[in-house]
Amino acid sequence: MLEVLDYAFMQRALLAAVLVGITAPAVGIYLVQRRQAIMGDGIGHVALTGVALGFLTGTNPVWTAVLVSALGAVLMELIRWYGKTRGDLALAMLFYGGMAGGVLLINLSPTGSNANLTTYLFGSITTVSEQDVVVISLLAAFVVLITLGLRRQLFAVCQDEEFARVTGLPVRTLNLLLAITAAVTVTVAMRVVGLLLVSALMVVPVAAAQQATRGFAMTLALAVGIGVVVTLSGTVFSFYKNVPPGASIVVLAIGVFAVITALAAPLAKRRATQRAGRTAAAAEGRCTLKDDVLV
Partner 1 sequence: MPKEPDGSARPDEPASQRDTATQRGAATEHASAAADADPVISLRGATASLGGRPILRGVDLAVGRGEVVALLGANGSGKSTAVRAVVGQVPLTGGELALFGTPGRRFRDWARVGYVPQRTTAASGVPATVREVVSAGRLARRRFGPPRKADRAAVRRALELVGMADRARDPVGALSGGQHQRVLIARALAGEPELLIMDEPMAGVDLASQEILAGTLREQVAAGTTVLLVLHELGPLEPLIDRAVVLRDGCVVHDGPPPKAVGQHALPGHDHVHPHAAPDAEPIRTGLLT
Distances (CA, A) of 128 to 44, 105, 119, 135, 185: 18, 22, 10, 11, 16
d(CA 147, CA 181): 8
The minimum distance between CB 212 and partner 1, in angstroms, equals: 10
Which lies closer to partner 1 via its Cβ, residue 113 or residue 152?
152
Which lies closer to partner 1 via its Cβ, residue 169 or residue 251?
169
The minimum distance between CB 26 and partner 1, in angstroms, equals: 12
In the complex, the residues that contact partner 1 under the rule CB under 8 A are: 29, 32-35, 37, 150, 152-153, 155-156, 158-160, 162-169, 206, 210, 213-217, 219, 272, 275, 283, 286, 288, 290-292, 294-295
Which lies closer to partner 1 via its Cβ, residue 8 or residue 166?
166
The minimum distance between CB 283 and partner 1, in angstroms, equals: 7
CA 68, 71, 77 angle in degrees (round to 5)?
A: 140
The minimum distance between CB 4 and partner 1, in angstroms, equals: 34
Phi, psi for 289 (deg, rounded to 5): -65, 140
Which lies closer to partner 1 via its Cβ, residue 65 or residue 76?
76
Q: How many CA atoms lie within 13 A of 212 on its CB side?
A: 19
The minimum distance between CB 41 and partner 1, in angstroms, equals: 16
Which lies closer to partner 1 via its Cβ, residue 22 or residue 174?
174
